[in-house]
Amino acid sequence: MSTENVLLKFAPEMHKNYLLHILNGKMPSYGSSLDTNRAVLMYFAVGGLDILNSLDSITDTRKKSIIDWIYSLQVINEKDLTSGFQGSTNLNTIENRGKNTLYKWAHIANTYACLSSLLMLRDNLERVDRCAIINSLKALQLPNGSFKGAIDGVESDMRFVFCAAAISHILNDWSGIDVELMVDFILNSISYDGGIGQAPELESHCGSTFCAVAALALSENLDRLTRAQFDNLRRWLLFRFDGGFNGRPNKPVDTCYSFWSGGALKILDAYDFIQQENNHQYVLMTQDRRGGFAKWINCVPDPMHSYLGLAGLSLMDFGGLNEMFCELNITKRTNEFLEEVQKTWM
Amino acid sequence: MSDCSSDENENDTILYRDRPEWKDVTPLKQDDGDEPVVAIDYTEAFEDCYDYFRAILKKKEISERALELTKTAAQLNSANYTVWQYRREILKGLGKDLNEELDYIQKVILKHSKNYQVWHHRRIIVEWLQDASKEKYLTETVLAKDAKNYHAWQHRQWVIRTFKLFDGELEYVDTLISDDVRNNSAWNQRYFVINNTTGFTDEVLDREIDYTLNHIKTVTENESAWNYLRGLLLHGKEGLSNNKKVTDFCEELYKSGNRSPFSLAVIVDMCFEQLNEGGGDSRYTPQRAKELCEELINKYDIIRANYWKHMIEMIDKTMKDENIESSN
């Protein structure tokens, strides 16, 4: 393995430029496979800038135009229960602007990403139809407690359980979720090894474990874990650390798990058990000379790993980065802004 | 990200706007607002195809040409779930042969095996057909390239559970574990099969414990096997610390000088269990647990030193609580 491109000095300026380029520029056409989830890409870019304390590098006019673009993705459809946010404009035309047409449906991950991004941009969610979104959540929960991503045509798993919990928390309204059923689904997805899979009986995975733990925390149900479940879960997560973090036993370490595993450990109050001076080394080795972070050393950086790399470094208390509110996967200061906004709804 | 391999579709170099059979359709441009965010520099072919996609979606056209168009749209972005959803509506509307669709989606899955949407499409077609006879082979083909592909395992478990295809699965898992004893997905599948077939009866437990210990013997630093062993012991009446076969194995391993952190962690937990539940096995004392924690802290698991220090505190706290209890 060549180490020529390994850059161990943290370069926040470059990451800022990389993220601004994702946000304001045009991704090359090979990014077309990400076309339906542009809202999530935006969340990674804006969220990364928030962690870097660089939101000021987006001008106020641009912030306004980003906010308007996000609201252009909002679907309000009480009849078909498809309210929320689309992930992209790829079904939108001048003609169907503001109208509910076939397949212009919200996607739960993008609803979460849009609401979070609005908060990062300090929009007070005034134009969000909170009631409609909460009502539509009801249509996404399955009899086993899990959530599907959209009203039709999309799979279901723990990722969308997290999104449902995060949306309910942000909008401060849990009436769209059968919380008991959701908790059952999470508890049923705990594996024999202590970790949590995407659904019952599936292999434990740090991504799904983070989603499950955050959903329990947001819904104030962490105490539903028995002492043994709690201890085993922490043990399983702690063993994910191997210089960097892997996502499953016997898999290679990967930048994104520095947040998925690290964030879950933070929520479970166990992060300090692996806190040591040089933990940031692996993530820094995946830093690209032109900005951004990759999954592995000497790989192409991408927005997701860039965001999660920064979030992971923030957990390590490294580089003067803004602190994370792990339960929502946003910064603490953005969560404080959310709390202010929520006060106005009382 | 999209790949650049060519499809067998001979038409794919001709833009839709230049095709005579599409002359009656007015393409519809995407409305991305005045100042787009996270824009993608679409190729001309991408824009052309999706302009026509939006146009026929508006009419909800159910036709052969619409079906063909969804193929191109999916080739340009196989993660577009709307394309797949619409394609299914067309397949239904035209009453197409779903076995052909299975062949098609198999090719797509083999190219994009880490894509949620293509697996979801496959699953729905299998549901419609109520025929899962090709699914084991498909997932085996994908797992032959990447034995830990989560999507493939998820699909395989769904198929096996829904269509009761447990026969032969344990043998398959065994092959994978023989190929790579560290394949955690395979160990998980082993648990899945037993849990849904025989269950963990005493006899099965005994067999599985032998199986696992044999595999640990060959590679001691294998978290997957140790985790499976713990999972097994949760089913036994004896807990972690009272299965003679397991305790003898661990002691022998320790005596041989082996200091795998997984093995040390198990012995610590055995001591802790005896402390909590009262055991009486003189090998598993709080004092020994603390000594092992010290070994982990100083030598064998330095990166988790703080955790093992915490374990020592927990042991001390439990001992103190028990003393208070017994003096009351």
Judged by a CB distance cut-off of 8 A, whether residue B139 touches chain A is no
Q: How many CB atoms lie within 10 A of CB A345?
A: 11
pLDDT bracket for residue A278 (50, 70, 90): confident
What are phi and psi for residue A289, nearest 5 degrees? -60, -25
Check residue B281 and give its pLDDT: 87
pLDDT bracket for residue B11 (50, 70, 90): low
Q: Is B202 a residue whose pLDDT tops 70? A: yes
- Cβ-defined contact of B85 to A68 (cutoff 8 Å): no
Q: Is B29 a residue whose pLDDT tops 60? A: yes
Distances (CA, A) of B55 to A241, B25, B27, B71: 50, 7, 5, 16
Contact criterion met (CB below 8 Å) for A254 and A246? yes
Check residue A7 and give its pLDDT: 56
Please list every residue in chain A whose beta carbon sits closer than 8 Å to the beta carbon of residue B196. 201
Which are the catalytic amino acids of B?
114
| Cα of A337 to nearest chain B Cα, Å | 23
Residue B221's closest CA among B165, B264, B279?
B264
Q: Is A33 a residue whose pLDDT tops 80? A: yes
Check residue B9 and give its pLDDT: 52
SS3 content of chain A, % helix, strand, coil (to 5): 50, 5, 45
Q: What is the CATH number of domain A12-28+35-343?
A: 1.50.10.20
Q: What is the pLDDT of residues A295-320, one digit of tens each?
A: 999 999 999 999 999 999 999 999 99
| Mean pLDDT in residue range B34-49 | 96
| Cα of B224 to nearest chain A Cα, Å | 6
Interface A:B, Cβ pairs < 8 A: 199
Residue A47's closest CA among B32, B33, B31, B38?
B38
Distance CA A11, CA B151 (A): 35
Check residue A6 and give its pLDDT: 52
Q: Name, in order, each residue with C-beta under 8 angstroms of B243's C-beta and a sequence gap of 6 or more.
A: B209, B233, B236
| Mean pLDDT in residue range B158-177 | 98
Q: Is B2 a residue whose pLDDT tops 70? A: no
B60 within some domain: yes
Check residue A275 and give its pLDDT: 76
Average pLDDT score over chain A = 96
- Cβ-defined contact of B307 to A241 (cutoff 8 Å): no
Judged by a CB distance cut-off of 8 A, whether residue A277 touches chain B is no
B276 within some domain: yes
Q: Is B261 helix (H, G, I), strand (E, B) or coil?
A: helix
Contact criterion met (CB below 8 Å) for A97 and B31? yes
Check residue A213 and give its pLDDT: 98
Q: Is A3 a residue whose pLDDT tops 80? A: no
Distance CA A110, CA A159 (A): 12
Q: Which of A69, A89, A198 sits opposite B30 (nearest CB)?
A: A89
| Cα of B34 to nearest chain A Cα, Å | 8
Strand partners, A26: B39
pLDDT bracket for residue B328 (50, 70, 90): low
Distances (CA, A) of B61 to A91, A94, A96, B71: 15, 20, 17, 15
Q: Name, in order, each residue with C-beta under 8 angstroms of B251's C-beta and a sequence gap of 6 or more.
A: B283
Check residue B3 and give its pLDDT: 46
Token look-up 């539940």 returns B277
| Mean pLDDT in residue range A183-206 | 98
| Mean pLDDT in residue range B245-263 | 96
| Cα of B217 to nearest chain A Cα, Å | 17
Please list every residue in chain B whose beta carbon sits closer than 8 Å to the beta carbon of residue A29. 2, 40-43, 46
Distance CA A78, CA A164 (A): 18
Task: Find the residue in A nearest to B36 (Cα).
Answer: A69
Residue B23's closest CA among B57, B83, B75, B65?
B65
Contact criterion met (CB below 8 Å) for A200 and A188? yes
- Cβ-defined contact of A32 to B50 (cutoff 8 Å): no
Q: Is B5 a residue whose pLDDT tops 70? A: no
Q: Among residues B44, B69, B96, which one ends one of the domains?
A: B96
Distance CA A268, CA A232 (A): 11
- Cβ-defined contact of B57 to A91 (cutoff 8 Å): yes
Neighbour-count burial for A73-88, b at 16+ CB within 10 Å, e otherwise: bbbbbeeebbbbbbbb
A269: left (phi over 0), alpha (psi -120 to 50) or beta: left
Q: Which of B38, B42, B148 sits opposite A42 (nearest CB)?
A: B38
Q: What is the pLDDT of residues B71-85, one digit of tens each?
A: 999 999 999 999 999
Judged by a CB distance cut-off of 8 A, whether residue A287 touches chain B is no
Distance CA B34, CA B32 (A): 7
Check residue A4 and give its pLDDT: 46
| Mean pLDDT in residue range B126-148 | 98
Number of structural domains chain B divides into: 2
| Mean pLDDT in residue range A12-30 | 95
Distance CA A236, CA B227 (A): 9
Distance CA A193, CA B191 (A): 10
pLDDT bracket for residue B12 (50, 70, 90): low
ipTM of predicted assembly, 2 dp = 0.96
pLDDT bracket for residue B4 (50, 70, 90): very low
Q: Among residues B96, B120, B151, which one ends one of the domains?
A: B96
- Cβ-defined contact of A32 to B77 (cutoff 8 Å): yes
B58 within some domain: yes
Q: Which of B30, B78, B153 sits opposite A90 (nearest CB)?
A: B30
Check residue A30 and give its pLDDT: 87
Contact criterion met (CB below 8 Å) for B273 and B289? no
Average pLDDT score over chain B = 94
Q: What angle do CA B163, B165, B167 make, to 5 degrees?
A: 160
Please list every residue in chain B whose beta carbon sits closer than 8 Å to the beta carbon of residue A248. 148, 184-185
Query: What is the secondary structure of A69-92 as a DSSP string?
Result: HHHHTEE--TTTT--EE-S-STT-
CA within 13 Å, CB half, A127: 15
| Mean pLDDT in residue range A247-274 | 97
Lowest mean pLDDT across A51-60, B87-96, B144-153, B234-243: B234-243
Residue A179's closest CA among A191, A158, A165?
A165
Contact criterion met (CB below 8 Å) for B72 and B49? yes
Q: What is the pLDDT of residues A151-190, one digit of tens each?
A: 999 999 999 999 999 999 999 999 999 999 999 999 999 9
Residues 263-322 of B with CB under 8 A from A: 265, 303-304, 306-307, 310
| Cα of A67 to nearest chain B Cα, Å | 10
Please list every residue in chain A whose beta carbon sits closer than 8 Å to the beta carbon of residue B58. 93, 95-96, 101-102
Residue type, B129: L
Q: Which two tokens stand for residue B121?
A: 């499409």
- Cα A99 to chain centroid distance, Å, stands at 28
Distance CA A330, CA A170 (A): 11
Token look-up 């299965």 returns B243
Q: Which of B79, B82, B223 sits opposite A250 (nearest CB)?
A: B223
Mutate to test the interface with A, among B25, B29, B38 (most CBs of A within 10 A): B38
Residue ranges making up the domain that contains B309: 241-328
Share of chain A above pLDDT 90, in %: 94
Q: What is the pLDDT of residues B255-288, one digit of tens each?
A: 999 999 999 999 999 999 999 888 788 899 999 9
B182 within some domain: no
Token look-up 């036994």 returns B236
Lowest mean pLDDT across A23-27, A116-120, B1-5, B136-140: B1-5
Q: Is B153 a residue whose pLDDT tops 60? A: yes
Task: Find the residue in A nearest to B306 (Cα).
Answer: A273
Q: Domain boundaries in chain A?
A: 12-28+35-343
- Cβ-defined contact of A274 to B306 (cutoff 8 Å): yes
Judged by a CB distance cut-off of 8 A, whether residue B2 touches chain A is yes
pLDDT bracket for residue A274 (50, 70, 90): very high
Distance CA A209, CA A212 (A): 5
Contact criterion met (CB below 8 Å) for A141 and A177? yes
Helix axes B44-59, B64-76, angle to 10 degrees: 140
CA within 13 Å, CB half, B41: 9
B154 within some domain: no
Please list every residue in chain A whose beta carbon sits closer than 8 Å to the beta carbon of residue B34. 65
Neighbour-count burial for B258-282, b at 16+ CB within 10 Å, e otherwise: ebbbbbbbbbbbbbbbbbeeebeee
Residues 93-132 of B with CB under 8 A from A: 116-117, 119-120, 123
What are phi and psi for residue B255, nearest 5 degrees? -60, -30
